[in-house]
Amino acid sequence: MKSFLRHLLILLIPITIFGQRYDQEKLEELAEKYTKQSFTELIDILSIPNDAIFPESLEENIQWCEKAFGNRNFKTTRIPTAVAPLLLAERKGKKAKKTVLIYLQIDGQPVDTTRWFQKSPYIPVFKEKEASGNWKTLENYDLNNYQDDWRIFARSASDAKGPVAMFLAALDAISEKNFEPNYNIKVIMDFEEELGSPRLPQAVIDNRELLKSDMMVIFDGPLHITNKPTLVFGARGIATITLTTYGPIVPQHSGHYGNYAPNPAFGLSKLLASMKDDEGRVSIPGYYDGITLDEDTKKILRGVPDDEDFIRNKLQIADIDKVGSNYQEAIQYPSLNIRGMQSGWINEKARTIVPSWARAEIDVRLVLESDPHRLIKLISSHVENQGYLVLDREPTKEERLSNKRIATFTHELSYQSFRTEMNSDVGIWLENALEKAFEDDIIKIRMGGGSIPISPFVNTLGIPAVIVPTVNMDNNQHSPNENLRLGNYRDGIKTMIAILTEKL
Ligand SMILES: [Zn+2]
């Protein structure tokens, strides 16, 4: 019996290997073909302005998506909210037992057109890096002979219309082969992601039945910095705080009143400085409570091939904050970050004044273990403990006259963090698909540092979620000159074909 099995195995192994190779080659070929075919559609979607601060500009994006998915036999439904709707596109699979909910983000960050090295962030251009390191706009180019290192520059090229175009291309590729996934697909499109998806949590609660699914896949975000196939099993949530301190009611001449009228910028600086120790750790007691990383978790975190010398070199920083002992560990904790500060005027507008106020904008990236309300309370109590009268509005004259230190503290909780087990059904399914596509080890990240509005789905629908990133890390997302590397675009399409063809 034993030797029979051995013979059978010997016979079977080459077949399996051959089968996998064949699959991989077929995938490669299909991805290549549909990369070239889909450039027109990629350029098309990137040409529509999508800054969600202007809801009227979103309508064209919504209609574009309705048409794109409608053409591919999806039924689309607008889920209304007070401002921009969410869009749901559904397609049933043959003999499907399970439903996969796919999240796509359509809106983009605001643009400062003066800082883009092209006519408009909404007129995509292709560029190539010169030996000098500068990006040169391609004039006469043939996209049928595109090079992997060429990039398309436009707002949302990477974050996250690129992945939308990849997904549409992958759907076309499988339909050419008459292949149908053995699961139902629901695609949820968010048009307010860059605003923090303020209306999404309620919309998910109100449409629980409509969105009912077994698991969630998010096509968003950059690959690990090595640009190797990556899966991300969680993301930090986010809350924001605005903190203002006060001096004289209007700015005063610094010659007449310097040494006399207290300066709110010094007050704010001290307050902020008191929140962290010299090693970059939050010094407010209890801030990191509840987070313990056991040996297994630490092993998973160490398994991510981060080259920290490279990161420090790229960021040009001599030392790092000592929250965790490495990069991956650091992002398992909540952050406390000053994202901007203002008081008086600076640069050519600098004036010799004692400013009347100073303000810091703060963001707090959240992790699963820490209750966001508790963290916010800890920070506001800390301000109080420094002798401040803490208000959620501007102070009155009476309050100004009777309190030496006054701060306005307002906050907004966008959404909580989420995290999925790596050995969950959805995790294993995606890992199998990616392994087939790339014949390579998959980099598995326990939790990404950035935030995406997935916890409302995870918590309300009770489903696990995993992020499948595709774009290059150095894509300038949220900044001028956002771009997408064409090799990543093709591999993204390949990734999505692999997922669509992987049995669930
Ligand atoms: Zn973004």
pLDDT in tens, 343-385: 999 999 999 999 999 999 999 999 999 899 999 999 999 999 9
CA of 236 to the centre of ligand 1 (A): 14
Give the per-residue pLDDT at 4.
53
pLDDT-derived band of residue 425, with 50, 70 and 90 as boundaries?
Answer: very high
CA–centroid distance, residue 109 to ligand 1 (Å): 6
Q: What is the distance in A from the centroid of ligand 1 to the CA of 2? A: 57
What residues have their beta carbon closer than 5 A to ion ligand 1?
Answer: 159
For residue 156, what are its two tokens? 């949302």
Cα of 3 vs centre of ligand 1, distance in Å, is 58
CA of 193 relative to ligand 1 center, distance in Å: 7
* Beta partners for residue 99, in sequence order: 184
290 Cα: distance to centroid of ligand 1 (angstroms): 29
Q: How far is the CA of 113 from the centre of ligand 1 (A)?
A: 18
498-502 average pLDDT score: 95
User: Model confidence at 7, in pLDDT bands (50, 70, 90)?
Assistant: low
196 CA from centroid of ligand 1 (Å): 9
CA of 451 to the centre of ligand 1 (A): 9
pLDDT of 6 > 70? The answer is no
For residue 193, what pLDDT band results from cuts at 50, 70 and 90? very high
Query: Which amino acid does the sequence have at 197?
Result: S
Whether residue 154 has a cis bond before it, omega within 30° of 0:
no
- Stretch 24-40: mean pLDDT, rounded? 94
Counting runs of H as helices and runs of E as strands, what totals does the chain give?
15, 21
Q: How far is the CA of 221 from the centre of ligand 1 (A)?
A: 8
* pLDDT of amino acid 8: 52
Q: Separation of 191 CA from ligand 1 center, angstroms?
A: 11
Q: How far is the CA of 31 from the centre of ligand 1 (A)?
A: 26
The model's pTM: 0.87
What's the 158 CA to ligand 1 centre distance in angstroms? 9
Nearest C-alpha neighbor of 454 from the set 426, 477, 476, 435: 426
What pLDDT score does 451 carry?
87
Q: How far is the CA of 495 from the centre of ligand 1 (A)?
A: 21
Q: How far is the CA of 454 from the centre of ligand 1 (A)?
A: 13
Give me the pLDDT at residue 14, please: 42
Residue 64, pLDDT above cutoff 60: yes
Q: How far is CA 126 from CA 139, 182, 473, 476, in A?
A: 8, 37, 18, 15
Nearest-Å Rg of the Cα atoms of the chain is 26
CA 103 to ligand 1 center in whole angstroms: 14
